Chains A and B, each alone.
Chain A
Amino acid sequence: MPRTKSEAMTDDPERFEELVREHQAMVFSMACRYLRNRALAEEVAQDVFLQLYRKLPALESPEHVLHWLRWVTAHRLIDHSRQEKRRPQSPLEDAPEPASADSISSADPLLSDMLRDLVAALPENARVVMILRYQEDLDPMDIARALDMPIATVKSHLQR
């Protein structure tokens, strides 16, 4: 029986690693922008890829993998922040990580940092919409599809 591409990737550690390398910046950056904590973002990103590893045989194409990764990352982040709201936190855990080397190379590091803080302060759904719009450069229709959200809701989050 012919095997699908994703099945072959599961069997081959190097190909799974390639897949992680291909998508790690997307998944990690979504988590990092959402959580404003690099260590926590890496943890969430690792969990997403482990979930991908288990799910790979059911994913049919690279596009399916990409769509699945965006969907799972977004929902995992929303769930994570909802759980965090219910749990009392120490002030140290709340503190954002220092800016990375990448962000220092921005045109205006102070403004970039302020914008990241503003995005991180948005409600869960609006935050994910903003990240998909400006990090992933998705149009409102693709965001609605990625999050199973009505297009009108996506547009209203973007217009606020």
Chain B
Amino acid sequence: MNLEDELRSALRRENPSPGFAERVVARAHSSAKPTRAIPRMIWAMAVAAMLAIGFTSTYEYRQMKAERASHDAVIALRIASEKLNLARERIVRREN
């Protein structure tokens, strides 16, 4: 036999101890049942949905803040105008 054949003979396959397959199967079934990996598409869709929700919420929040500010400004102007009217009426009354 040449060296290559000797190597093939020395390194040929051999079986593990009896009951190996049963032990593997028992361990496999005692561990968690395999789960199918979540496809990348679903991950991408989830990330996109979260980003969309984030942007929409930020936009809505800013919109709501702007509306509240304009409402407050209108009230402030109304109060200022009423006070000016009162002051004007008092001045007119004194002059008469």
By a beta-carbon cutoff of 8 Å, the part of chain A in contact with chain B is: 10, 13, 16-17, 20-21, 24-26, 28-29, 32-33, 38, 41-42, 45-46, 49-50, 53-58, 100, 102-103, 106-108, 111-113, 115-116, 119, 130-131, 134-135, 137
Assign chain B's interface to a size class: 20 to 34
The interface residues of chain B, by DSSP majority, are classed as helix
In the complex, 27 of the A-B residue pairs with CB atoms within 8 angstroms, ordered by the A residue number, are A10-B34, A16-B28, A20-B21, A20-B24, A24-B15, A24-B20, A25-B13, A25-B16, A28-B15, A29-B12, A29-B14, A32-B14, A41-B16, A42-B17, A45-B16, A50-B27, A50-B31, A57-B34, A106-B9, A112-B10, A113-B10, A115-B7, A115-B10, A116-B11, A130-B7, A134-B4, A134-B8
The interface residues of chain A, by DSSP majority, are classed as helix
B9 near A25: Cβ-Cβ < 8 Å: no
The verdict on A16 contacting B13 (CB below 8 Å), with A28-B20, A54-B34, A56-B34 known, is: no
